[in-house]
Structures are given as C-alpha cells and as structure tokens.
Structure 1
C-alpha cells in the first residue's frame, strides 16, 4: 500500500472515529443499547471493518447510491431489553409476532427501507430498539409526535426529570469519548474498555 493510500486510510479512520464519538458515544461506553449511524456510501467497508469481531454488532437498515444507514447495537443488552414484557406487548401491537432479535431487525429494516424509498409510514418501533422509554414511544405514536413535554435525544411525554438526567449522561459520554479520540484512542479500544463493565462510567 502506498504512503498516500495509508494517509487516506488514516484520515478516514479519524473522521469516522470523531463521527462515532459525536453520534454514538453512549453506545460506545455501554450506557445505551443501540444507535443509528449514517455515513457516506464510500465509508461502508470502513465501518464494517471497524466493528468486525467487535463487541458491537451492526445491521444495515437502508442503503442507496449516496449513503448507508447502520443500526449499531450491543446484542446481549438489546435482547434483554426486548424480552421485557412491556416492550414485547408494544412490539406485538405494532405487528411483530416473532420475538427473536434477528427476525425483528429483519422486519424493522424492511419497514425502514419502505419508508425511505416509498415514503410509507415511519417504523416507530425503532424507538423501542433504540432504548427510548416505553411510555414515550407509545405517547409519540398516539400524539403523532406533537405536544411533548420536552425534547432531547427523544421526545419526552413522561418522567421529564429522569429523561433530563439521561440526556445529561449522554452529553457527558459524548464529551468523554471525543476527548478519548482526540488523545489517540481508537473506537475498538473504547468499546473494549467499557463493554460489560459492572460499573458504568456514568450514572443513568
């Protein structure tokens, strides 16, 4: 590989690391079950390589000529989240009969692709997969996204104080991971550092 190619590869990795730190820090440090990550189609293989044999899994929600939408997630934590009775009940109401994570992600991806390509209904169940509070997802659907009490990483319809604490912890995670990246840590190192820790870096 030529020196120019190596430099380009390094620049791409640094760019993706900063983008991941900015958009997905809570996931990287283990205080969030999943994140959506949207990149240019040119970065597809770089993202796949970054999470290959990583503790963070990925699925592709949507892909077109210009961009690709990744769904990044901690498999074990997301499975546990979806096994909660209140999550299962809402998922069934939204048309999900299968309880396996693989089948759920396949169906979500199909609905998301229909939304992106044909402007069909947005799959609000993504809110459940992203770890948003069950009550807020239900209220968002019922109110069609209107009349929320506050807005942060999601639209809040109940338990505002608790939601604000979570928003604050996500902001702290973002600053922390951005600093780690600036200090030269790569994304895999950050994931390994915090994955499955009994003591999370931030209280939620």
Structure 2
C-alpha cells in the first residue's frame, strides 16, 4: 500500500474523527499523480460516513486538509470558546461553515499559523490558551497537543486516539474500504 495516498493519510491522521471520538483532525497533503484518490473523491466518500473534508489552505506543493464531524464541532463552540474566538475576529453567532471561512482567511491574513485552530481540532480551551500565552513552552505533557490543563484526562485521550489510529491503519492495510472501517469501529473506551 502506498503510504502517501490520500485515503491512507486520512486513515492515519484522522482515525479519531472518522471513529466519532474527536471532532476534527488535519494533515498536510502533497497532491500526487492522478492515479491517487482526489480530494473531491475523498470528500464524497467521507460525506457518506457523516464526515466533512475542507482544504484550509493550499500552495503549489501542499494542501492542509481538515476532516471534521459537523455535529461534534458545533459542540466545541461553547459561549467560552466563542468569546475566545471573538478576540481573533470570529463572530460568536457564526455557524460552523462561517467559522471555517474565517479560519481559512486567518491563514492568509495573520502572517503566521492561527493557533486558535486548536479549538477547531477539539483541544481543551485551557490548552489552546496555554499554548498561545506561553508560546508553546511550559506545558505539562506533549502528545496530540501540548497540555496546560488536565494532564491525566489528556493522557487517556492520547491513548484512546493511538489505539483508534492503529485499528484504522491495520484495517486499511488489510484492504478494507474506508466506509467499512468507519462503520465497524469501536469507541475505544
């Protein structure tokens, strides 16, 4: 199996979202030969599984692919999260699509990586704030993200995400289709 194919990258980088245990994941993809799955094809396959795909930004060589479950992402935008995002130009009353449009604009307008994206990936707000306020230093533990808040809860989540990713990659390598894997995935408690 070509480990650089888009469908494999989705399985490897986005398994927790595909399994419904995390609102979103993202990864960088270098578009390759036409024989590989296209982003449009992947978007259609994922839509059937209740998952959405957005290209957050692109250049000549790479695209930043964002995979999310809209219903789970809506739950991320609590009043506290909306107030936090207002400081970065997001409208608190905006829906998921409008917030994603603002996030895409921020990639081009802020001159750096918009670190509030941690909220869009389902990271705890205290960890997103901690990362921004401490410039990525002084964290308690580093796993899927840098933890500034509840270390034990985060370590449990990191383990859950790891087991989920292993399950998806093992099944993908065994030749199972993405939808088959999504619909048969356990919750990895």
TM-score by length of 2: 0.87
2: CA distance, partners of 1:178 / 1:157: 30
- Contact kept, 8 Å, 1:50 with 1:188, in 2: the verdict is no
1: CA distance, partners of 2:109 / 2:83: 24
Structure 2 residue 19 is matched with structure 1 residue 47: no
1: CA distance, partners of 2:133 / 2:72: 27
Consecutive unaligned residues of structure 2, counting only runs of 5 or more, are none
Number of the residue aligned with 2:84: 90
* 1:45 Cα deviation after fit: 6.1
Deviations 1:155-186 (A, max 9, x none): 00111111100000011001111111122211
Structure 1 or 2: larger helix share? Answer: 1
* 1:139 Cα deviation after fit: 1.0
Q: Identify which of 142, 160, 173 aligns with 1:151.
A: 142
Structure 2 residue 76 is matched with structure 1 residue 81: yes
Q: Secondary structure at the match of 1:178?
A: helix
2: CA distance, partners of 1:13 / 1:167: 22
Range that drifts further, 49-58 or 171-180:
49-58
Q: Identify which of 9, 12, 20 aligns with 2:10.
A: 20
Range that drifts further, 33-42 or 173-182:
33-42
- Contact kept, 8 Å, 1:27 with 1:34, in 2: the verdict is yes
**Structure 1: 4+ residue segments shifted above 4 A:** 11-14
Question: Structure 1's 193 and 153: CA in aligned 2 closer, same or farther, altered over 3 A?
Answer: same
2: CA distance, partners of 1:16 / 1:81: 27
Structure 2 residue 180 is matched with structure 1 residue 201: no
1: CA distance, partners of 2:104 / 2:178: 25
Q: Secondary structure at the match of 2:26?
A: strand
Deviations 1:27-68 (A, max 9, x none): 111111011132112379613202214311122111111111
Structure 2 residue 97 is matched with structure 1 residue 102: yes
Structure 2 residue 21 is matched with structure 1 residue 31: yes
Q: Secondary structure at the match of 1:42?
A: coil
* 1:14 Cα deviation after fit: 8.5
Q: Secondary structure at the match of 2:42?
A: helix
Q: How many residues align?
A: 183
2: CA distance, partners of 1:24 / 1:133: 18
Number of the residue aligned with 1:182: 173
